[in-house]
Structures are given as structure tokens and as C-alpha cells.
Structure 1
């Protein structure tokens, strides 16, 4: 009898250090909005996305490469960057064939944390590429960590829901001994028919609603509208 790979869920970057990331695919989850924006840009033909953990780094790399610089801090376009963190900004007519340098409050920060902690493979996930993520981890035969980016280390609803959606799909193929995974899956199953009824009380939903970003959030919660797999290779995320 073959041994199943393990699956765990980290609900906050502050918990990432508790997990052994060797021989592990780390799925970076930042539904509102970094990993949804990454999926959108690559789906629409971006050559690659270079994630950075600082605004200064994004500006320097963008200048060096002649690339588009983009990102946010606290939900707003960061000073010195050209564009924001909205998946709607990166349509095919704008992003096709271009390089995007992206920095965000939570998602790109955790991606670099995972790399520094020895992750053997890093991909990014959100509802727009739910099926691509599930298909990839099922094919891989590796252990998996679903890494929710949360909001400044505080657990959030939307990332937990996505982790739960993944667990709900793949649970039969992994050895899951993880209360965070069970919690996320139960939260998703209980609320999947009325996601917005749950999210209306979420702090990040309220924060982005105040900025007029409801359309962004609807895209970010829609399964498979940008169904590509962003894989981190040689310093950048590329679609495979």
C-alpha cells in the first residue's frame, strides 16, 4: 500500500515557521488580491511576474528591466509604482508579452518567506485558478502546504475559504492530520452556496469595499476564470 503525501494548512504567515517545507509544494494564497492578480496577468499573456517584498525593490527591478511596476500597501497603489493590485488592470491588450514586477502587503511577502524557509516548490493559488492548483498538487505526489497570507498576520476569511475549497476537492488523495485543514474545509462546505453572505462581515471585504473594489472581489471569488498555474522558477512566476 502506497503512502499518501501529507497536506497541511497554515492560516497565517506567522505560523509558517512551524512547518517543514522540504519536499513540499507551498501554495501561496492571497485571494484579495495578489494571487488573483497573478493568475489574471499570466492568463492574459504576461511573460512573467517578478514578486518582490518591498516597494523599493520593485522600483529598482522595474527600472533595470524596463518592466511594469505594480502593487499596493494597505489596499492602495503604493507610492512610486505605476499600477495597482487589481486583477482587472491586466487585460490581454495591456499585459500580453510584458514583464510585471509586483509587490503587495501580504502575498508577495509570504512567497519570499516560503523560499527562505526552504520550500522545494512554490505556486500561487486563488479561486480564479482553483482547478489548476488542485490538478497540479494531485499530479505531483509531493507533500503540500496551503499557505494563507492573511492580513498582516491576522487570519482572514477569504484565504481560509480558498484553502478549504482545495482541501474539499483533494482530501481523498492526501494524509491530512491538520485541524486547520479540517476547519477550512468545513467553513467552505458550510458556506459555499452563500459565500457572499459570509464574506459581507469579513474585515478585508469591508476594507476593499470602502475603496470601491467590489468588482475586483467578485473576480477573485470566481472559480477558474484565469485557470493557469503560476510556478516560481528562477526568480519569477511563470504560467505552466
Structure 2
């Protein structure tokens, strides 16, 4: 992109900070590594027709009944009461999810998705689809906000690490003049060879490990296991062509 101005690349570390960013003129990447956005790309990679993200458990059940869809979601890392399935990517193999609709509600990720509704485009990102995300953002040549779902508005390690990994991969195509992007990239660069060990200090790692979910965590931190691009259109996430 020599000779032309590069678009901006910014990182919003928490939904509580999103109002400080120019969402309307940006592509927003929703990041909820443990586990919503890792599960969303896995479900679509395994052939689901769509994922409908909703804010509440009640809405999840209502839409699930109406569409005869699979209802899923978690609250604080556990399957939410009244729902059939949780937020583990391993619950959705191809033979179970192919051609089906998943209605999903999560503690942090679905909330941020609805907050970003005025963006030029919304996609979801996590390590299992990092290459698809990076390739798409570079091709679009538009301003980007990497939006971390965080944990109940508190900054978390895994979403920050993923944002830093994206910045690190695509920064030459963008103007990076955002301290949170630089901080995320620095965190990623110091952790890159050892990300699974670094994550053991993180609060959400400890929260999920308590439930025996280390296998989920390992999958969610591993690049390109489900390399599709979930794109938000008309209230649902579908795999981009």
C-alpha cells in the first residue's frame, strides 16, 4: 500500500471502552477466545448453516424452539440452565452440527457483538481461525477495531494475546497508532513461543481448568484448527464464501 494512506488498526481491550472508538467507520473483530468465538468458527467449519448469537438464555430458548435449532450457551464457564449444550468446541463435531442452526448465548462475547452492531462489518476471531481473519482484514483495506470481549468488562489475557497476534501479523498493512494495540502486540511477542504456559496464569484459564476444560483451552489457543471466517449478517453469523 505504498503511496496511499494506510487504514488504522486499533485494539479495544474491553466492551466498557468501545464507546471511545469509531465503530461506524470500522470493521470490528469480536474476540472471545475462551470460548465463544473459538466455538463459533468451529461450528461453521464443521458445516453448521448459521449461528444466531443472542443476549439472554430466555431469548435463546425462544428462538431455538421457533426454529427447531440447537440451543447453547454458558454463564461463568458452565452450561446455562435451560440450555442443551455449552460453549465447548468439542460438543459440535460435523456429524452433529452439519446443516443445523445453533442459537448461542455467552457471558461476554454475544454482548460485545450486539454493542458493535453499527460497524461497517462484524466478523469473529480467535486462534483457530486467525489466518482467515488476517487475510480478510488485509484484503478489505478499511479501518479495523479488534474488540476484546474481556471478562465482565475486565481486561483479560487471552483476548489481548489474540489481538496482539493479529497486530503482529498484519501491522505492515495498517497504521498502528494505538497504545492498546502496541501493548497487546508486546504481550503476544513476549509470549508467542510459550502461549499455553503463559495462559496458565490467566484468571479465565484457572476458572475453566477448575471444570476440567484444559483440552478446550489448548484447542482455543492453537492456530488454524477451524480456519473459516464467521461474518455477521442480518442477526446471524455465517461462514464467508
TM-score (norm 1): 0.98
1:96 aligned to which of 95, 98, 114: 98
Deviation of 1:141 (Å): 1.1
Q: Which runs of 5+ in 1 are unaligned?
A: none
| 2:150 match: secondary structure | coil
| 1:172 match: secondary structure | helix
User: Could you tell me how far apart the structure 1 residues matched to 2:143 and 2:151 are?
Assistant: 25
Moved over 4 A (4+): none
| Residues 196 and 218, structure 2, Cα contact 8 Å, conserved in 1 | no
Alignment partner, residue 119 of structure 2: 119
1:109 aligned to which of 96, 107, 111: 111
User: Could you tell me how far apart the structure 2 residues matched to 1:79 and 1:120 are?
Assistant: 35
2:135 counterpart of 1:135: yes
1:32-181 equivalences under 5 Å are 32-115=34-117, 118-181=118-181
2:25 counterpart of 1:28: no
| 1:142 match: secondary structure | coil
Deviation of 1:21 (Å): 1.0
Cα distance per residue 1:113-165 (max 9 Å; x no partner): 111xx211100000000000000000001100000000000000000000000
Deviation of 1:23 (Å): 2.5
Q: Which runs of 5+ in 2 are unaligned?
A: none
Deviation of 1:197 (Å): 2.1
Q: How many residues align structurally? A: 238
Alignment partner, residue 214 of structure 1: 214
Deviation of 1:234 (Å): 1.3
| 2:124 match: secondary structure | strand
